[in-house]
A and B are shown apart, each in its own frame.
Chain A
Amino acid sequence: MSNATPLLEARNISKAYGNVTALTGIDFRLDAGEIVGLVGDNGAGKSTLVKTLCGAHQPTSGQLLIEGHEVTFSSPKESRERGIEVVYQDLALANELSVAENIFLGREMKRSGLLGRLGTMDRKAMHASAVATLHSLAIEIKSVDARCGMMSGGQRQAVAVARAIMWGSKVLLLDEPTAALAVAESDKIAGLVSGVKDKGVGVILVSHNLPQVHELCDRVVVLLRGRVVTELRRGEYNVDDMVSWITGTALHKK
């Protein structure tokens, strides 16, 4: 880990829903060009942490910093404006719209002049830009005019990731990106995530696919009952170690 200011940092984050404590004193950091895995059993607090980091939930206490500046998010929209893009499990794609239309959804390019002021879209420019983005990420999709509903799970995932990257996100939060994918597609997404890392984006990978987490992540943060129990570094552990941390048996051994 570098000593530079982290891209995203959570300090002593706690979150309680009434009397139920979901997160206790979480410290978390993510550097640029780093892939950090977030693993834990169901109910360990993964999704609560993800929701807190992207502003869907507000922490009960603790601080959130982006590039050293403290921030508070009251909605995912605000976190997005600060460069945190979440690719949700359901991908949030409009199936009837094409790849290019989905990539630009909500951020359509307008034509210049009077037509633009009337709200007319510049479809050619969006098309070209979508092609360029997919190309730069080495995503193979036959046509950006293809409708998203017609594509495979892996292609849809790739489109969702491309959309997140295209909008210059600094932090990419992937929530179970390969859960619903065939093995070959899952490998393609893994390749895509590595490519994103090389662009200097920090990636948080929430996944149950432990071999993939092991292969892709520079660090893995293990959550258990709302606490960070350990951080595993690349090359210093194997998947079995990770499992014993997740289930908590590693705690009893020590």
Chain B
Amino acid sequence: MALATLTFQSCDEELDIHTPGNLVPPAVNEDSSLPSIKVNNVQLHAEAFGNPNDPMVVVLHGGPGADYRYLINCKALANDGYRVVFYDQRGAGLSQRFPGTTYTMQLLYDDLDAVIAHYRSSPDQKVFLLGHSWGAMLATAYINQNLDAVAGAILCEPGGFKWGDVEDYIERSRDFKYLSEALNDAVFSDQFITGKDDDHAVLDYKFDLWAAADETTDSPTGNEGKLPHWRSGAVTFDAYIRLAERTRPDWTTHLSQYTTKVLFVYSENNKAYGIAHAQKVSSAYPNADLFETLDAGHDMLTFQTGWNNTYPAIRNYLGNLK
């Protein structure tokens, strides 16, 4: 072992797994060349497209802890007369990291408030939310607290708006076969790399390796392939799952008062979801229009077939409320 160590110490460059930029890209607070906004005491990786005066569509990515790279197709709405705003939620993607103990749902609501305020060109500019998976859950939680804040919402396969429904969906969507390569790949790397709870670069890298096990095309969620992304937010993922398990949230308590129509999208190929779950989850809204994306899975907004089948429904929905 000593010989091996000496040998590698003589190599030209010492690479450290803790250094952002080696195994994971740096976050916006570590690389000033990345597009970002500073709001609510957090630096968020963010971009906006389209006329700043057009109705705003804020895109909310999944996870928690994913990033908006896989939703970039939604930029097409800028050509339909919308100001499309993307941002990585705090602790996720290329946005600034924080200790796991600091994450709360209220922070996410406040961040979304601040993002809207940052990009808003006038007080009467309409704001729509477009959320995918966890992003759709966040959108609903935000609407539940801020009934007058948004002019409409597109909700793409949220796991649920009550934690029990989310747990049911997670259980159906995780199909690790005993003794499978996928299960092995998810855990064998734990002996190669370890990181403390503030080692964001290490933990995010490990999370990417762990999540790769879930990207197989035989997953019950009907994924077409690997989702493009920049960097996973391992600590924020863990923090929000733990928070939800502890508090068992119900984000539907005021939704009966939100009478604006919402577009609720689910996918044909996601066998863990299905129309029964879609009806159950969407029933929290008094006015939900269900739309099934054919020939696509949970990643319906990312790959060409799913996007081509979903985009017209999104455009029509927004056009009726614009």
Q: Do A and B bind each other?
A: no
Chain A residues in the interface with B (C-beta under 8 A): none
